[in-house]
Chain A
Amino acid sequence: MADLSSNFLGIKSPNPYWLASAPPTDKKYNVLRALEAGWGGVVWKTLGSQIKNVSSRYSAVDYGGQRVMGFNNIELISDRPLDINLREIEECIRIFPDRAMIVSLMADNDRKSWHELIKKVEDTGAHGLELNFGCPHGMTERGMGATVGQDPEIACMVVEWVMEAATIPVITKLTPNVHSVVPTGRSVVKAGTNALSLINTIQSVTGVDLDTFVPNPFVAGKSVFGGYCGPAVKPIALKMLTTIAQDDLTRTVPISGIGGISTWKDAVEFILLGATNVQVCTAVMKHGFRIIDDLVEGLNNWMDEKGFKKLEDFIGKSVPTITHWEDLDINYHHIAKINQDKCIHCGLCYIACEDTSHQSISLQYGKPYNTYTVIEEECVGCNLCELVCPVDNCITMEVHRKGDEYINWKEWQKRGLPLNDH
């Protein structure tokens, strides 16, 4: 049995899974159900000025018959009175003292408001604060949320105010609605934040209703850009996480990874790319808190199989393997191989390669089953056929190096080696 316990800035939780600041964490009822189900901790839904929400609030992107590949929302921060939230936070901490209780904050943009809010929240006994500099809708029009996170100077200023008052760890949550998360990340680390979390949601339109002509979600004949999340955003989140994990300054603080985490495998990927723990939201909004069982068991089994005793054994392990393109080994070459015993003759590899890649698969007509074979000398090793093949391990990529020596693009140019001739 691996040790799944997590220590994030001294904030302990029995596993690395926190619920992200969002609707599932906006009141005691939900949070207690989550903690009973086994979640390691929660980030309480963002507290700040009193606001009012609209109806409807969510919309989704379905794909290939699966619901909610992507999800977006136009809900604002908590619309419940602050004193009720604070009382319930205190009660949850008392009932589950072994779990992490982080409170997300978005005060009005002045020092006093931040200081007052921090004081009230710390009085609940919460273990940490997360600064919501990421919410991309509604609050931005009031100069908060992503408006702060998109400007490194403003973010820096707010974090400095926060650090003047905070006596518990502070996590700054970054917005992905920027060309790079690194400038704001560096800025807030300089300003003293104890940790970073990312990503918040991505501004989006999930679709347009083809009968009403109004995009989703529908509010009385209008819509607004919503924050996109769910499995669809994971690759973007992983990339942004990696840039933070690779930067010399931002990598000095712990990172809480967020963005489309639905399974234990997703969580492992975030941790391998530098996250100390992870936060989950959309997956529980689709399936409920019960998914924590598999998140924990799957992670445990994988760690046992790999021989990892504790999370620290693999945090950031994959970060060094993401390099610059110009440092890739040009002599590396692999070629697709189709296992004829496994092939079901669907032709998907063929048509993908023939129409859109390098015409490297031959078709030998059969009735009803064609035979498909890789033309090795034409194959550039792009992986497309392997990716579209519906049968596990039917198409494999076999290494056929062009040369033994590691040689990258810079060296290739320096030596005046030949470019592609087709």
Chain B
Amino acid sequence: MQYRLRFSKWSNFQIVLMAIINNRLTKEQYDENFADIRPPFENKTAAVVEANRCLFCYDAPCTKSCPTHIDVPKFIKQITSDNIKGSAHTIFVSNIMGAGCSKVCPVEKLCEGACVYNLLEEEPIQIARLQQYSTSIAQENNWQLFHRKPSVGKKVAVVGAGPSGLSCAHVLSREGIDVTIFEKEAKGGGLMTYGIAAYKVTPQFCEEEVNYITSIGGIEINYNQELGRNLSLAALQKDFDAVFLGIGVGIARNLHIPGEQLEGVVDAIRFIHDIRNNGFTSVAVGDKVAVIGMGMTAIDAATQAKRLGATEVTMLYRRTQDEMPCTEYELNLAKLDGCEIIWLASPKEITGNGKVEKLVCSKMQLGAPDASGRKSPVDTNETFTLEVDMVIKAAGQVPFEKLISDNGLTNQDGKIVIDNNNGTNIKGVFAGGDAVNGGKEVVDAVQAGKEGALAILRYLSEP
């Protein structure tokens, strides 16, 4: 695995007072810190050398390990045969966000983790970089690899222009359905645009990806339209032949500890959203930052806090490395960025005079496995205290339970319940992605969007 780290000269910073401030770095430092960490192949030769390593497995483990089932050996073989159009088509036909996924997928636990070279103790094929190679060429050249069938006169509303919504819309449009997407933000892309570290995908890339996906035609995106605010499900049901809900999750789980309301406590979703939406210079970050959690979002928050100029970033996780939700690649990103990791630590109280000053943590130990199968953390009743001026909560996200219940959608703890046919309890209303699964990878949402679209097509063709 390659890491391209661009440290700015943090050591040059002489910070006297602890404070949460923005605009800590120069433009050059921001550019360096937020440059793409998964660099593309420099040239065709480099890509072809790597592509030629691929064994072209039959019924390939990499493909089986991809939630969207991209035919990986096929698209790699097409790179070796100089058929980049074909290669990009092979990727996009399974995963219309194949370009973005090549940048954000946790490939070490998906395709690359399954590569048979791992069984030879050899480096797996760099599938993500090869996928990035083909898809970026296609996107840069705006190759139109799909042709929309003539309009069949059916209209579908998609709520949310995130991975599941865009994926659903693209499949539907290909089949001649007229799709209108309603998106609460001012830009499309969802989690890809607003919820992932900027050094993985740039906002510009996200915008280009959305434009490329919708360039097939037949997809209209209405921005700043939020379900429950200025959009109602009932109206959509009335105006459209079917509705797909790809509204994601998005509410940060609270810690439920004293001091959570103090100034300087922020949630990771908002923190990352602001970096993506408002620009690096406007996002304030403390000198000594604690990040609660060890999922992908926690890593994105911690590394970006460091890259925004925080002097010290400490990540706290109540279990151990064996149970952490993030991949080892992600953990290494945090370590290489200089983040401290404290395992078996659970936040107990945040103290301070109006503003965050201290974080008191419980020392934990592992007990019996919990419902997730992982060993559960048990309080040892010992504590320790960190001096911090900012606490970023990244202890998971919860669904929009109230919104979902208010709309009469059957749900389980806020997660929309769908049947085998991707339908909700409301006829003609389908759902998929994080709103259903509670929050998985982008690639899972893309697959859910595809499945939702196929279900809608079946539904629309019913007599």
Contact = CB atoms under 8 A, between A and B. Distances in A.
Interface in A320-356: 344-348, 350-351
B57 A65 contact: no
A64 B58 CA distance: 18
B56 A65 contact: no
Contact of A351 (B58, B64, B65, B119): B58
A65 B58 contact: no
A369 B119 CA distance: 11
Contacts of A390: 55
Given A65-B48, A65-B80, A368-B65, A345 B119 contact: yes
Interface in A367-384: 367-370
Interface size for chain A: under 10, 10 to 19, 20 to 34, or 35 or more residues?
10 to 19
A391 interface: yes
Nearest to B63: A368
Given A65-B80, A368-B114, A391-B120, A348 B61 contact: no
B341 interface: no
B42 interface: no
Nearest to A372: B58
A344 B59 contact: no
Given A344-B120, A346-B55, 9 more contacts: A64-B52, A64-B80, A65-B48, A65-B52, A346-B57, A347-B60, A348-B55, A348-B56, A348-B58
B59 A65 contact: no
**Top 7 closest pairs, chain A to chain B, by CB:** A347-B58, A65-B52, A368-B61, A351-B58, A344-B116, A344-B119, A368-B64
Contacts of B117: 344
Interface string B207-249: 0000000000000000000000000000000000000000000
A363 interface: yes
Interface string B81-108: 0000000000000000000000000000
Contacts of B65: 368
A348 to B, nearest CB: 6
B61 A345 contact: yes
Interface string A378-416: 000000000000110000000000000000000000000
A367 B64 CA distance: 7
Contacts of B386: none
B145 interface: no
B49 interface: yes
B240 to A, nearest CB: 37
A370 B49 CA distance: 27
B59 A347 contact: yes
Contacts of A345: 57, 61, 116, 119
A391 B122 CA distance: 12
B48 A350 contact: no
Contacts of A363: 59
Nearest to A368: B61
Nearest to B49: A65
Nearest to B65: A368
Most buried by A among B48, B49, B116, B120: B116
Interface in B117-151: 117, 119-120
6 contacts: A65-B49, A345-B61, A347-B59, A347-B60, A363-B59, A369-B114
Contacts of A65: 48-49, 51-52, 80
A123 to B, nearest CB: 50
A154 B52 CA distance: 48
Nearest to B45: A65
Contacts of B51: 65
A399 to B, nearest CB: 28
A347 B119 CA distance: 14
B373 to A, nearest CB: 18
A346 B116 CA distance: 6
Contact of A350 (B55, B58, B61, B116): B58
The residue in B51, B64, B65 that gathers the most chain A C-beta atoms within 10 A of its C-beta is B64
Nearest to B61: A368
B87 to A, nearest CB: 16
Given A65-B80, A368-B65, A368-B114, A347 B57 contact: yes
A344 B52 CA distance: 18
Nearest to A346: B57
Most buried by B among A346, A350, A367: A346
Nearest to A349: B58
A367 B114 CA distance: 10
Contact of A369 (B52, B56, B61, B80): B61
B272 to A, nearest CB: 32
A391 B121 CA distance: 12
Contact of A370 (B56, B59, B80): B59
A346 B58 contact: yes
Contacts of A367: 64
Contacts of B55: 346, 348, 390
Contacts of A348: 55-58
B46 to A, nearest CB: 11
* Most central of A64, A65, A348, A350 by chain B CB within 10 Å: A65
A346 B353 CA distance: 62
Contacts of A368: 61-62, 64-65, 114
A370 B48 CA distance: 28
A295 to B, nearest CB: 26
Chain A CB within 10 Å — which of B49, B55, B80, B114 has the most?
B55
A185 B106 CA distance: 65
A348 B52 CA distance: 15
A350 B120 CA distance: 19
Contacts of B57: 345-348
A286 to B, nearest CB: 17
A65 B62 CA distance: 22
A346 B52 CA distance: 15
A138 B114 CA distance: 54
Contacts of B119: 344-345
B218 to A, nearest CB: 35
A391 to B, nearest CB: 7
Interface string A200-239: 0000000000000000000000000000000000000000
